[in-house]
Structure 1
Amino acid sequence: MKINWGFGPPKEPKGTDGEGAARDGASVASPRSEQHTWTGGSQLATRIVVGLLWGALIAGPLALALQVLLPESRPVVRQDGYVDRIGEAAAVSEFAERAVVAWLETPSEESDALRAYFGDLGQSRPDIPWTTSGSAVAEIVKDDSGLWSVTVGVDAAEGTSPPDAEPASEPAETPADAPVETPAETPAEGDSDDGDAEPVERITSGRLYFQVPVLYVDGEMIAQALPAPVPAPDEFDQLASAYDHGLAADHPAFARVANFLNAMLVSGDQASLEAYSSPGTSFRVLNPVPYAGVRVETIVAAGGEAPSEEPSDGETAEVQANVTLSGSNGEQLGAQYSLVLQAREGRWEVARLRTSPALAEPVPLPEPVPVTTTPSSGSSSADGHTPPSGTSTSQGTSSQGPSPTPSEEPTREAGSDPPTGTTTESP
C-alpha cells in the first residue's frame, strides 16, 4: 500500500491505465480521497509549527526561572583576589631582576636601552659596565604607597679596562676657591687619626643586593627609582631541634630505616620499600635511581628517649636519619631524612616522611604592628565617658555622642576622665 505523506497527490501505480486497473482489481482514487490527502498534510505541518511556537513560549520563562533560581557563578580568579596578587608579584619580580641586571651591564653609550625600565630618570653610566650572573629575587613586598619593593641579589664583578686601553686623562686642577669634597675615609674633626682604625674592606666582585621600587598598573611596569645598593639579608640562627636521643646501631628501628632508604634510593625495589612501610602509605622509589649507595651514619629520636625495641601496636616515634649518599663516581653527599615510625606487630615501620624536621621551639612569627586610633571629636569610650580632645585609646571602635561644651565639663575628681593630652590604655 502506498503511503502519502501529504506533500502532493498520490502517484499512480505503474501500468495504471484503464485496463491495467481493471486487471489488477485496483480502484481509481476519487476526487474526495485526493483532497483528503492534501488537507491531511497541511494539518500536520500546521501542528508542527504550533508545537514549535509553544516550545519557544515555554522555553523563555523556563530559562528566566533557571537564571533566577540557580546560584550566581563566580570567576575562579577574582580581580582583587589572592591569586591575582601572586601573578602580579611574579611579574614584578621578573621585571625587577631584568632591570637590575640591565642597570649593571649597560654601558654609557647604550644608556637609551634603560628607558624601558627607568624612563627618564637621570643616571650616571660607566663606560666599562659590570658583569653579572646568578641573579635572583631575595625579597618582594608591597609597601603602604602601593609600590612593590623588590630586593635583587646578583653575583657582580666590577668592569676592568682592557690591557691595551689608554690610561685615563689627568683630572683638571681644582681652583683654590672651589669647595673640596671630603673622601669617605677621611676622619671627621675630633676623630683620632692614629692609624688604629681598621681599613674599610672593599670588594670588586661578589654577591651584591639592590633594592628597586616598581610601579605595576594593569600589567604595565616601570621602576619608580634607580636601584639602590642595600645590605645582604640578615642571617638567622637555626632553631633548636627536637631530636635529642641517638639510636644504637643494633636497635631494630635503625635497621628498618636503613633498609627503607636503601630500597628507595639505591635498589629501586618498590616491593622492598612497601615491606618496610606502614599499610596505607604510598611511598615511591626514585626512578631512575641516581645513587650507587647509601650509608646511614646516625639516627636521632625526639622525645628524650629512644623508641622501644619491642613497641606496642600503634606506638609512634619521630626520628631523623643522617645519611651519606654515594654517586656512581664515588663522590659522597650528605643528606637528612625526618621520618615518623609506627609500630605494628612488634616492629617499627615508616609511616610518613616529614617535609620539615621536628623542632623543640616554635617558629617565630612577626609581631603585629599596634594600631593606635585617635577618636575624633564627639567619640565616646565603651564606659560611656567621652575622652577629651587629644586622648588616645587602644580600642578601635567608638560610639558617637554629643561633645560637652567647656561650661559643661565636670570638675576633675577621682575616677573622672583624664585631662587633654593624656593617654589611656584599655585593660
Structure 2
Amino acid sequence: MSPVGTGRRKPAAPAEPQPAAVQEPEAEKDAGWVGGWSTGAQANSAALLRWLVWGLIALGPLLGALAYLSVPTTSAAPAPKAAPTAPTASGGQGAAGFAVLFVAAYLSAGDGDEAKLAAYYPPAANLQLEGVSGQHRGEQLTVVRLRQTDTAVWSVTVAARVIGAQPSATPSAQPGVSPSPEADPVRYFQVPVATAPGAGGATAYTALAMPAEVAGPERAKSPELVYGAMRPALPSDPHTQAVTSFLTAYLTRAGAELDRYLAPGTRLAAPSPAPYSGIAVDQLAVEGETGGEPVVSVPGDGTTLRLLVTLRATGQDGVRLPLTYALTLKARAGRWEIASLDGAPAVTSPTPAPSASGSPGPATTPTA
C-alpha cells in the first residue's frame, strides 16, 4: 500500500539555524564617524596638535630669554662698610666693671704682683714692678666717664681715692711753717678695654694697655635757676608753714598723715622707717621773687609755684644733717599744698635770640 494512501505527511527536515540579527548601533550606521568626530577631523586635530607642540618647543628658548630680560637687573654693588655699633648697655657696663677691678689691682700692686695685673693686661707679665705690694690701695673707685672709641673698644675713666700715697706738699706762704699735706687725693685713671664674644654667649674683656693717669673732669658752670635769692624761712610765711608741715610728716613720721599736705592727685611715699627725729626749715628760694618783700598771701586756687628749701634734719644720734628739697606747691582753699617733690631744681630756659623776620623794625611806608 502506498504511504500516500495512509493519509500521513512525511515530516519536513529541520531548517538550518540562521545567525541572529545584530542591531547595528545608530552611530555606526553613518560610515566614517566615531564618537561624533569624523576620521578626517581626527586627523586634522592630531596634525594641528603636533604642530602646536613643535611650535612651543621651538619658541621655548626665545620665551625664556624674553622672560629673563624682562626682570629688572640689580647691580652687584659691594655692601656698604658697617658703621661702628652704638654703645650697648651690657657691653659698656661690663667694660666699666672690668676697668674698676683693673685699677684697684693696679694701685695696690708692687714687686711680685705682675701676674695679678696680667690677668687684666697679659703683657704686664713682662713688667718689673717696684714698691711693696699693698702699700697703696684705692678706695671709693667709681666710673666718671665711659665712651666707645671703636666697635669693640671702650675708654673707661675711673676715679679713685688713693690711700697710703705720699701726698705732695703744699708750699706755705709763711716762713718757718711746715706745709700741710693734702690727705687722700682723688686721682683719675683711663683704661682702654676691648670686648669680644666669649664662651656660652658671654662677653670677654681685656685691657689694651696699662692705666693712664689723666686730669679730672672739668666742673660745669652752674646754670641759672628759676628761684629768687635764698631768704630766711619766716614762721608766718604760708610757704614756710606748708613745707614745714609736709617735710615733718615726710621725714619724721614715716608718711603718717602725709596725704593731708598733698594736692589732689599727688601720691608720694615717705622713707621708712623714719630717718630723722625732727627738722628745722632754714631758708627758702621762691620762684618769681626778686629780692623785695616776700609775698605771703596765697593766690587763687590752681596757682602753682616752685621753690627751693634748705633745712637741717636731726638724726636718731642727735647729729643735724643739711638737706635741700625742690618742691612745687599748688594753691587751694587759701593755703599751699604740695603738688610734687621735684627730682632737681628747675633751671631757666635760655632766651632765644630774636629772628630777623620776627624782630620789630622801623615802620616803612609802602611805595606804589
- Aligned-partner Cα distance in 2 for 1:252–1:205: 46
The structure 2 residue matched to 1:356, chosen from 344, 347, 354, is 344
SS at match of 1:259: helix
SS at match of 1:95: helix
Give the AA of the match of 1:118.
Answer: Y
- Aligned-partner Cα distance in 2 for 1:226–1:159: 19
For residues 394-405 of structure 1, the aligned pairs below 5 Å read none
Alpha carbons 1:215, 1:223 under 8 Å: kept: yes
1:106 alignment partner in structure 2? 109
2:262 alignment partner in structure 1? 277
- Aligned-partner Cα distance in 1 for 2:107–2:115: 14
1:334 alignment partner in structure 2? 322
Q: Do structure 1's residue 125 and structure 2's residue 129 form an aligned pair?
A: yes
- Aligned-partner Cα distance in 2 for 1:282–1:135: 36
- Aligned-partner Cα distance in 1 for 2:269–2:184: 44
2:360 alignment partner in structure 1? none
The structure 1 residue matched to 2:156, chosen from 150, 154, 160, is 150
Q: Do structure 1's residue 312 and structure 2's residue 300 form an aligned pair?
A: yes
1:90 alignment partner in structure 2? 93
Alpha carbons 1:109, 1:127 under 8 Å: kept: no
1:237 alignment partner in structure 2? 221
* Per-residue Cα deviation, 1:80-138 (whole angstroms, up to 9, x for no partner): 997x7111111101100111111222223131222221112453411314322221212
Task: Label 1:325 to 1:207 Cα distance change in 2 as closer, same or farther (>3 A).
Answer: same
Task: Label 1:269 to 1:104 Cα distance change in 2 as closer, same or farther (>3 A).
Answer: closer
- Aligned-partner Cα distance in 2 for 1:216–1:344: 57
Task: Label 1:294 to 1:110 Cα distance change in 2 as closer, same or farther (>3 A).
Answer: same
SS at match of 1:261: helix
Alpha carbons 2:103, 2:211 under 8 Å: kept: yes
Displacement of 1:235: 2.1
Give the AA of the match of 1:251.
Answer: D
Task: Give the superposed CA RMSD.
Answer: 2.6
Task: Label 1:316 to 1:204 Cα distance change in 2 as closer, same or farther (>3 A).
Answer: closer
Q: Do structure 1's residue 213 and structure 2's residue 192 form an aligned pair?
A: yes
Alpha carbons 2:100, 2:141 under 8 Å: kept: yes
Q: Which runs of 5+ in 2 are unaligned?
A: 1-83, 167-179, 198-202, 351-368
Larger Rg: 2
Give the AA of the match of 2:131.
Answer: D
Displacement of 1:236: 2.6
Give the AA of the match of 1:110.
Answer: D
Alpha carbons 1:131, 1:158 under 8 Å: kept: yes
Task: Label 1:287 to 1:135 Cα distance change in 2 as closer, same or farther (>3 A).
Answer: same
Count of matched residue positions in the alignment of Structure 1 and Structure 2: 241
- Aligned-partner Cα distance in 2 for 1:102–1:344: 59
2:241 alignment partner in structure 1? 255
Alpha carbons 2:165, 2:184 under 8 Å: kept: no
1:222 alignment partner in structure 2? 206
Task: Label 1:112 to 1:137 Cα distance change in 2 as closer, same or farther (>3 A).
Answer: same
Task: Label 1:270 to 1:159 Cα distance change in 2 as closer, same or farther (>3 A).
Answer: closer
* Per-residue Cα deviation, 1:376-396 (whole angstroms, up to 9, x for no partner): xxxxxxxxxxxxxxxxxxxxx
Give the AA of the match of 1:322.
Answer: T
* Per-residue Cα deviation, 1:382-417 (whole angstroms, up to 9, x for no partner): xxxxxxxxxxxxxxxxxxxxxxxxxxxxxxxxxxxx
* Per-residue Cα deviation, 1:29-67 (whole angstroms, up to 9, x for no partner): xxxxxxxxxxxxxxxxxxxxxxxxxxxxxxxxxxxxxxx
Give the AA of the match of 2:100.
Answer: E
Alpha carbons 1:243, 1:303 under 8 Å: kept: yes
Task: Label 1:159 to 1:250 Cα distance change in 2 as closer, same or farther (>3 A).
Answer: closer
Give the AA of the match of 2:320.
Answer: Q
Give the AA of the match of 2:130.
Answer: P
- Aligned-partner Cα distance in 1 for 2:116–2:305: 60
Displacement of 1:310: 3.1
Give the AA of the match of 2:329.
Answer: L
Q: Which runs of 5+ in 1 are unaligned?
A: 1-79, 161-200, 363-427
- Aligned-partner Cα distance in 2 for 1:235–1:295: 31
Displacement of 1:345: 1.7
Task: Label 1:103 to 1:310 Cα distance change in 2 as closer, same or farther (>3 A).
Answer: closer
- Aligned-partner Cα distance in 2 for 1:323–1:204: 30
- Identity across the alignment (%): 27
* Per-residue Cα deviation, 1:250-273 (whole angstroms, up to 9, x for no partner): 1222211111111111133532x2
The alignment's TM-score, normalised by the length of structure 2, stands at: 0.60
SS at match of 1:270: coil
Give the AA of the match of 1:119.
Answer: P
Displacement of 1:312: 0.6
- Aligned-partner Cα distance in 1 for 2:278–2:216: 38
Give the AA of the match of 1:255.
Answer: Q
Whose strand proportion is higher, 1 or 2? 2
- Aligned-partner Cα distance in 2 for 1:146–1:101: 23
- Aligned-partner Cα distance in 2 for 1:353–1:206: 35
- Aligned-partner Cα distance in 2 for 1:274–1:349: 10
1:141 alignment partner in structure 2? 147
Alpha carbons 2:114, 2:128 under 8 Å: kept: no
2:56 alignment partner in structure 1? none
